[in-house]
Structure 1
Amino acid sequence: MPALLTLDAVCKRFGGYTALDQIHLDIRQGEFIALLGPSGCGKTTLLRSIAGFLAPDSGRIVIDGEDVTGLPPYRRPLNTVFQNYALFPHMSVLENVAYGPRRQGASRREASERARAALELVGLESLGERFPREMSGGQQQRVALARAVVNRPKLLLLDEPLSALDMKLRKRMQLELKHLQEKLGIAFVFVTHDQEEAMTMADRIVVMNAGRIEQIGAGADIYRAPATRFVTEFIGDANLIDFTVASGEISLALPGAPARLARADAPSRGVAVLRPEQLRVLDHGGRDDASLCCVSGVLIDVVSVGSHTMLHANVDGQRVVARVMGQPTSAAQMGGTVRFGFDPSDLHLIGEPA
């Protein structure tokens, strides 16, 4: 299937600062893409460049086979949902949504019918006569979505539209937004700095850092097999353990971890990634599973978040974090010795320059 949106070596600079550095990305019809990264990584600049609010210094932006790099926003087959929703306060909800069709030349009756159909999509068909000030934040967000999709654009851009909502409503709207996207079949490009939000909604996540794309992939793949140290640290919690390879064996810079691991594809040096849930708390005095690597340390922090508990241990100067379901066992006592075991096959290796 040909790409709906192609970004070909897109660059953008502001004076001596490079906001976008050789961005290459293909997005297919009906895909939900999340642009994810910390503040200043370039994700909003990229979204604004796709929308036409910023002109790239070099590179091309192609939508459905047409080079739109030099076209203004109103001539691009897309729409944008902004962080503050940008609803017209003097118009009713129905008039806000009908504004797009009217601008395209639809009659008042046709525009109203299309607006009502769009409001029905987002569950607000009975609130068309209200004004934005009479609606909650979640309802205003739905109005903004209805207004954005009423003309059925080929591409919908969303600039952190859920950031102003409280946590519970935000989580509910994440699922509603994903269901709406699946129902419409329109490609969504969603900007967020919230990794959980991206993992919940996106088919693929584009992780950005310092104006560059660090990794593209499904959320589960990025979590299990991060391509760089930055992605590892940005996506979820992780234990990073330096390693070297000599005579085909991997040596971990973790006191107590045996140097008996072998990987045919291992780089000569780098960091091994071990997610907290891959560590098992072992009982003292019990027989160890021979297939596990075992390390011991002093328990320095216990953080309970309801469904699970994070155990932080000092293993000879290195902090190691484990996640256990529910409350920790009696083997885990603050200030006492705690023993962890992990399967060496769970280690994900990231090579680094020698």
Structure 2
Amino acid sequence: MSALLTIDGVSMRFGAYQALDRIGLEVQQGEFVALLGPSGCGKTTLLRSIAGFLKPESGRILIEGQDISRLAAHHRPLNTVFQNYALFPHMSVLENVAYGPRRQGASRSEAAARARAALDMVGLADFGPRYPREMSGGQQQRVALARAIVNQPKLLLLDEPLSALDLKLRKRMQLELKHLQAKLGIAFIFVTHDQEEAMTMADKVVVMHAGKIEQVGTGTDIYRQPATRFVAEFIGDANFMAYSASGDGTLLLDAQGLRVPFGNLAAPARGVAVLRPEDLRLSDDAAAARLTGTVTDVINVGSHSMIHVDIGEQTVVARHGGIAPSGLGPGAVTGLAFEPESLHLIGERP
């Protein structure tokens, strides 16, 4: 099956700054894809290139096999939802949504009917007569979505449209947006710097850094099997321990010279072992404890506690369910245990 969207070797430079470096990516029909990364990683530049607001210096952008790289933005079979929603303040909600069909040549009655259907799709069927100023931020975001989907684009681009909402509303809108995408069956490409947001909504997460794609996969893939140290650091919390592999099925961790059995699994000769905080548990069992250290900080956040432990060469973090045990505070000595299979190995780059 051919891809809906193909990004083929797209590069772009702003002066001496390499914004995009030979980007290659495919998006299938009906996929929800998140472009995730820190500020300046290239995700918004890539989105704007797909939309037609920027022209790549090299490479191609294809929709269903057709090269659209040189098409003007308004001729591309897609639509964009912006951070600020970009609603027309002098038009009613219905007029805002009907604007697209009218520009495509639909009659006033047909455009209004399509606008009402789109508003109903986003749960605003009764809000047509209102003006944007009379609506909350969440409602304005839904109007922007209705205006984007009313022309039934093949692809919908979303440039951090939830960033202006408060935390609780943003979390609710994440789920509503995910359900709307599933109902429409339209491919969504969503730009965000919020890893939780990406992992909540997206089928496929594209992690970007310094104008390049570091890894593409499901949220579980990139969390449990990060391809690079950058991905492991950016997605969630992680402890890193340098290691070297021996020929006898064990790993030698630099941390306290610990030797860990690793079975027959192939391991790069040298690299860094990634251990997530939830896989590192407190232990008073001398036989089970693999690391020993001194507690430096205990951060209780209600549902869990983050225990920072100095193991000599570095500080590691363990996630403990619930409130930390009484007596476990700064200065306390504790053991830390983990299962060898919890380690994810990232080999040194040549």
How far, CA to CA, are the matches of 1:66 and 1:273 in structure 2?
Answer: 42
For residue 245 of structure 1, report the CA deviation from its aligned partner. Answer: 1.8
Structure 2 counterpart of 1:268:
269
What amino acid is the match of 2:273? A
Structure 2 counterpart of 1:169:
169
Percent identical: 66
How far, CA to CA, are the matches of 1:118 and 1:26 in structure 2?
Answer: 28
What are the Cα deviations for residues 185-211 of structure 1, in whole angstroms up to 9, with x where unaligned?
Answer: 000000000000000000000000000
For residue 256 of structure 1, report the CA deviation from its aligned partner. Answer: 5.7
Indicate the SS of the match to 1:255. helix
Structure 1 counterpart of 2:280:
279
Matches within 5 A, 1:76-225: 76-225=76-225
Matches within 5 A, 1:57-72: 57-72=57-72
For residue 66 of structure 1, report the CA deviation from its aligned partner. Answer: 1.0
What amino acid is the match of 1:45? T
8 Å CA contact 2:239–2:317 kept in 1: the answer is yes
Q: Give the one of 289, 297, 302 matched to 2:298.
A: 302
Indicate the SS of the match to 2:256. coil
How far, CA to CA, are the matches of 1:40 and 1:216 in structure 2?
Answer: 18
8 Å CA contact 2:225–2:344 kept in 1: the answer is yes
What are the Cα deviations for residues 53-91 of structure 1, in whole angstroms up to 9, with x where unaligned?
Answer: 000000000011211000000110000000000000000
8 Å CA contact 2:37–2:207 kept in 1: the answer is yes
Matches within 5 A, 1:29-44: 29-44=29-44
Structure 1 counterpart of 2:254:
253
What amino acid is the match of 2:115? A
How far, CA to CA, are the matches of 1:339 and 1:13 in structure 2?
Answer: 50
8 Å CA contact 1:256–1:294 kept in 2: the answer is no
What amino acid is the match of 1:227? A
**Residue ranges of structure 1 left out of the alignment (5+ in a row):** none
The 1:79–1:103 alpha-carbon spacing in structure 2 relative to 1, beyond 3 Å, is: same
8 Å CA contact 1:97–1:143 kept in 2: the answer is yes
How far, CA to CA, are the matches of 1:49 and 1:273 in structure 2?
Answer: 35
How far, CA to CA, are the matches of 2:193 and 2:349 in structure 1?
Answer: 29
What are the Cα deviations for residues 119-175 of structure 1, in whole angstroms up to 9, with x where unaligned?
Answer: 001111111101000100000000000000001100000000000000000000000
How far, CA to CA, are the matches of 1:218 and 1:198 in structure 2?
Answer: 10
For residue 310 of structure 1, report the CA deviation from its aligned partner. Answer: 0.4
Q: Aligned pair 1:345/2:334, yes or no? A: no
Structure 1 counterpart of 2:2:
2
What are the Cα deviations for residues 28-71 of structure 1, in whole angstroms up to 9, with x where unaligned?
Answer: 00000000000000000000000000000000000112110000
What amino acid is the match of 1:314? D
What amino acid is the match of 1:153? P
- TM-score, normalised with respect to structure 1: 0.96
What amino acid is the match of 1:297? G
Structure 2 counterpart of 1:12:
12
For residue 287 of structure 1, report the CA deviation from its aligned partner. Answer: 5.8
**Residue ranges of structure 2 left out of the alignment (5+ in a row):** none
For residue 262 of structure 1, report the CA deviation from its aligned partner. Answer: 4.5
How far, CA to CA, are the matches of 1:306 and 1:107 in structure 2?
Answer: 57
8 Å CA contact 2:261–2:340 kept in 1: the answer is no
The 1:74–1:35 alpha-carbon spacing in structure 2 relative to 1, beyond 3 Å, is: same
Structure 1 counterpart of 2:287:
288
8 Å CA contact 2:85–2:161 kept in 1: the answer is yes
What amino acid is the match of 1:25? L
Matches within 5 A, 1:14-29: 14-29=14-29
For residue 328 of structure 1, report the CA deviation from its aligned partner. Answer: 1.5
How far, CA to CA, are the matches of 2:332 and 2:258 in structure 1?
Answer: 19
What amino acid is the match of 1:11? S
8 Å CA contact 2:256–2:313 kept in 1: the answer is no
For residue 4 of structure 1, report the CA deviation from its aligned partner. Answer: 0.1
What amino acid is the match of 1:323? R
What are the Cα deviations for residues 199-237 of structure 1, in whole angstroms up to 9, with x where unaligned?
Answer: 000000000000000000000111000000000000000
Indicate the SS of the match to 2:290. strand
How far, CA to CA, are the matches of 2:34 and 2:179 in structure 1?
Answer: 15
For residue 258 of structure 1, report the CA deviation from its aligned partner. Answer: 2.9
- TM-score, normalised with respect to structure 2: 0.97
Deviates more, 1:241-250 or 1:83-92: 241-250
How far, CA to CA, are the matches of 1:146 and 1:5 in structure 2?
Answer: 22
Indicate the SS of the match to 1:303. strand
The 1:241–1:287 alpha-carbon spacing in structure 2 relative to 1, beyond 3 Å, is: closer
The 1:331–1:253 alpha-carbon spacing in structure 2 relative to 1, beyond 3 Å, is: farther
How far, CA to CA, are the matches of 1:132 and 1:105 in structure 2?
Answer: 24
8 Å CA contact 2:296–2:329 kept in 1: the answer is no
The 1:256–1:243 alpha-carbon spacing in structure 2 relative to 1, beyond 3 Å, is: closer
How far, CA to CA, are the matches of 1:255 and 1:332 in structure 2?
Answer: 22
Q: Aligned pair 1:47/2:47, yes or no? A: yes
Q: Give the one of 329, 333, 340 matched to 1:333.
A: 329
How far, CA to CA, are the matches of 2:74 and 2:119 in structure 1?
Answer: 23
8 Å CA contact 1:282–1:331 kept in 2: the answer is no
